[in-house]
Amino acid sequence: MRKLAITTTAVAAVALLALSGCSSRGGDDTSGDGASKGFDKGSLIGVALPDKTSENWVLAGDLFKSAIEEAGFKADVQYAGQSTPVPDQQAQISSMTTKGAKVIIIGAKDGGQLGTQVKDAQEAGAKVIAYDRILTDTKNIDYYVAFDNFKVGQLQGQALLDGLKAKFPDKKTYNIELFSGDPGDANAPVFFKGAMDVLEPKIKDGTLKVVSGQTDIKQTATKDWLAQNAQNRMDTILQGSYGSTELDGVLSPNDTLARAILTSVKSAGKPAIVVTGQDSEAASIPLIMSGEQYMTIYKDTRKLVKQAIDMATELSKGDKATTTTTTDNGAVKVPTFYLDPIVVTKDNAAEVYKDDDKLAPLTK
Ligand code: BGC
């Protein structure tokens, strides 16, 4: 029965190609069987998301549900719970496989702990797409779609330097602190490395001083990307290293943590600092406009979700998905589609968000 359905689809696909005169896109199939059979409209597409700690994940869940259905497929969108997120995702992905999902889109809580589940998924005929966060050390991944995370880090690092120069025109050296994301999130070291690519030379030449001395990613990490954890670490650093010293700036990897850092600085009674962010969260836009948070990054979730669905639609036709580059995940080079992150400060916020119904009014 299943074989028949596949054959019918394949014949239909060939007929369609012959009619349109198109050929399918090139590139290697990383799923192992070399064949791209496609699948019917109405098939199940599973989406496993890590948590709801940042607005972008909440938005992604809503958008995925409607966009998958609009594209003609059935959607199974799941979030990991807070207490046992990794086992939750493992169980959710296995269940999507059992239900016969043709594509499983994964925003991993911990990209290194889903190897068994994605192997089973591929063996059952599903394509695996890593969404926003890559899956590490597994061959069982077909595609990756994300904003260019290294570039996000570079933009944050450069903005921190620019912000410091603008806010403190008379200073020649600046005291800063560094924060990074959750150690289980494969993006966290990439953001950090991107930022350090810009900041490290300035630390070496003495322009920047990390007064706490905490420059290793193990020291700067923020478990689970939780605001409270960043706030606690900032409180401790301020008490330990900034008794009579001025803090000028902080590298924060996202908006949630930037706001937590600002809260800590305020409640310690310290003067305003330059802080970076990412995600363009609604709660941060007024802070960008008032200058309290120096910058953020716009990674339009609508575009990222659309790209993932476009990939799934291409795969349903038996085509390869369109990609722009590859990403080494420690096991294979994963065909990747990168979107461009945009740096936002109060100077360009109105322009950048002009087509975003939720954010544009916040810039007025
Ligand atoms: C995402 C960021 C987000 C963070 C915390 C990262 O993997 O790329 O946009 O701020 O996770 O949810």
Co-location of 174 and 67 in the same domain: no
**Mean of pLDDT values over 49-54:** 93
CA of 47 to the centre of ligand 1 (A): 16
Please tell me the distance between residue 116's alpha carbon and the centre of ligand 1 in angstroms: 24
Q: What is the pLDDT of residues 282-295, one digit of tens each?
A: 999 999 999 999 99
* pLDDT(50) > 70: yes
Evaluate if residue 19 carries a pLDDT over 70.
no
Domains held by the chain: number: 2
- Identify the helix (H) or strand (E) that includes residue 93: helix 85-98
CA contacts within 13 A on the Cβ side of 108: 27
Q: Distance, CA 5 to ligand 1 centroid (Å)?
A: 39
Q: Are residues 174 and 119 part of one domain?
A: no
Which atom of ligand 1 is least distant from the CA of 56?
A: 9
- Choosing from 279, 298, 317, the residue where a domain stops is 298
Nearest-CA residue for atom 8 of ligand 1: 132
Say whether pLDDT at 2 is over 60.
no
Q: What is the pLDDT of residues 23-42, one digit of tens each?
A: 333 333 444 444 468 999 99
Distance between Cα 298 and ligand 1 center (Å): 12
Same domain flag for 277 and 305: no
Q: Are 45 and 108 within one domain?
A: yes
Encoding tokens for residue 230? Answer: 């960043």
Q: What tokens appear for 264 in the block?
A: 């800590």
Q: Which domain holds residue 230?
A: 150-298
Hey, which residues does 209 pair with through a beta bridge?
Answer: 175
CA of 37 to the centre of ligand 1 (A): 33
DSSP-derived 3-state class of residue 335 = strand
- Residue 20 — pLDDT band, cuts 50, 70, 90? very low
pLDDT digits (tens, 9 = 90+) for 99-116: 999 999 999 999 999 999
Buried b (16+ CB within 10 A) or exposed e, 279-300: bbbeebbebbbeebbbbbbbbb
Which atom in ligand 1 lies closest to the alpha carbon of residue 149? Answer: 8
Average pLDDT score over residue span 235-261: 98
Residues 171 and 212 in one domain: yes
Using CB atoms within 10 A of its CB, is residue 339 exposed (0-12), middle (13-18) or buried (19+)? Answer: middle
Instruction: Look at residues 298, 332, 358 and tell me which one is the last residue of a structural domain.
Output: 298
Q: Are residues 307 and 285 in the same domain?
A: no
Cα of 54 vs centre of ligand 1, distance in Å, is 7
Q: How close are the terminal C-alpha atoms of the chain, in Å?
A: 59
Instruction: Give the integer Cα–Cα distance in Å for 210 and 177.
Output: 5
DSSP code at position 128: E
Strands (E), 6-120: 44-49, 74-79, 103-106
Residue 323 shares a structural domain with residue 290: no
Protein residues with CB under 6 Å of any ligand 1 atom:
53-54, 56-57, 132-133, 181, 185, 187, 225, 254, 278-279
Using the atom order of ligand 1, give the atom closest to the CA of residue 51: 12
Ligand 1 atom nearest 254 alpha carbon: 10
Check whether residue 159 and residue 231 sit in a common domain. yes
Listed in order, strand segments (DSSP E) in 163-216 are 174-178, 208-210
User: Are residues 59 and 177 part of one domain?
Assistant: no
331 and 200 in a common domain:
no
Q: Tell which one of 51, 58, 185 to mutate to probe ligand 1, the residue whose CB is within 8 A of the most ligand atoms.
A: 185
Same-domain status, 167 and 279: yes
Q: By the 8 A CB rule, do 325 and 134 touch?
A: no
309, part of any domain:
yes
Q: Which helix (H) or strand (E) element contains residue 250?
A: strand 249-251
Asked whether the predicted pLDDT for residue 51 surpasses 50, the reply is yes
- Distance between CA atoms of 346 and 141, rounded to whole angstroms? 39
Residue 227, pLDDT above cutoff 60: yes
Helix (H) or strand (E) holding 154: helix 149-167
- Determine which residue's CA is closest to atom 6 belonging to ligand 1: 187
Residue nearest ligand 1's atom 9 by CA: 279
Asked if residue 167 and residue 84 are part of one domain, the reply reads no
Q: What angle do CA 108, 263, 84 make, to 5 degrees?
A: 25
